[in-house]
Structure 1
């Protein structure tokens, strides 16, 4: 059923140039501008020889390697990297890895491009403001299918001592290029594949049940979910299926384009304390509650898009055993102690239904206990 078109103004923009398909990574050498490059990745890619290949392609003499990125980049670590590379005269940044690698590169593109500025610690801990008139161009090469960070204008930063998550949201954070090569995802283990897919589904659904949705974001989200429904089970069973890996990359990118328009909503709001306090991987923390929230909004009859494909996504989520995955990190009894921190206005306020502490408790309980519906468990 087609939703009735509402007479309201909306805007859509995304400047990232995307190269996709098997072998897209080979475009890297011709896209990197002249001057010194900072290559950001994780140690695993160096151990597997990928860094050596990048140095051969770009030129070792003009490339600085940082391969120490850890999950969930922290304020203090990013400030230290800024100090380390401030005088290196970086002309471009190449980021190869998952969401944490891409977010690190995007943030450094601003902190290294603007020398006379406050530290990230001052900006986020002390509430200072900062303008970012200059950026260093970023070439994003995602090696997971989940975050969509290669096409978004925001990045996540964590204050580890305070167990808090912040978002840096600025149009300067768009990468210049994104290279989507499914060959780079073939070695992803089962759980990284699964958690990345959950991140994709969370982005797509969160942009659908969103007050800021537009016709474009809806179309992107629906197509993303169709790719996931078609490809995820096959990828989990046949991890070397290149065609299905490509579909999951496309799904991630499409969902990234959607949330760049709408931003995220209640599932992400609930997820942040789970990651901050129990180290739950981001994709699992977001994906864990999706089925319960989907049942919740379907019961209210307020989804902008309906049809068999959403029922298929609900069935897929229910079949993945996410309550068992989450039990390795925390329990309802532990997590429920953080319900007061699970409502963040900038995220939960995007949700198309008004929710309160009781609704969040219901969603959390239904997710842990796999009840049929939040309304039934209230």
Structure 2
């Protein structure tokens, strides 16, 4: 059997997970990443649903457990910092998942677990693609032209390569939410809970513990007419300070912290919907294919699952037959579609209910949270975090190498 070659564009969780399993299945795998080096840091992500089973099969669960953020639960607070409702970790997939970890830590764990023969090259990206019937020809920014049996695009929600290939078959659902993320200093009063505050004007502030002695902060606000991710960072920070002036609770602390933080970044939440995830010998996976946003939740889990499912179908002998790769890609899509469609279906009232404009709206939401946090209702409320679950069985994968 001929050894097949795959190029994966994107070295975050989706791309690295796919590289891990595809290499284990006997493919020759190269990963390229536009960034010049590995991107550490980032905010909290989690491993939920059947992604925990995938993580166990990778042999990486213990490593993830050893690097969790130590978060003990989610607490909603009022403008004075008083708890309105608390949701401790009682459910492995509750508001705070059992496996909470920083994005960079999870990506590095997978990166370091890659089989030795996987090539990972930074500072390069795709300029042009010619999808032939028997192979895909790729021109890289570095000047190289390379030939592969398959191109996998795992570049994230704003993938340029995906747009080159699929064009107007990529649909975007903008949620009208701006979110700024950053790392600020921990203070004596900070604990191991995710503190979440909602102010009038569709504004939210949250503080989350990490395992590095700092706090991961978030400022979010609803505004369909303003996209801070589309303007220069310094201008966006200035706009952010205006939006959150007088919001209450820890507003000044976070704004001041973001002024000097080295890792502040902005996002304008956008779901990605595509009528198909593959064409010929090119396919997409992860956020490039189906971004669910933090409102839908489970993005990192779906990235882990997608990498396994894609490799499982490509590990079958038919992938080596004439016309076999498109058949395998179609099976991957058929398996993943139901779980993605469910994740992209937002909770009732989202996002408007969770970003109220008035005092009455804030009070209504706080009453809802207070009731939901009572024992009899808490388990029901925790089901909001039940993403990446399915009744489907994971398909078998034909491994050439065993996992560690």
TM-score interval for Structure 1 and Structure 2 normalised by the shorter chain = under 0.3
Q: Given the two structures, how large is their TM-score scaled by the length of structure 1?
A: 0.27
Query: Whose Rg is larger?
Result: 2
Ranked by relative contact order (alpha carbons within 8 Å, sequence separation 6 or more), the top structure is 2
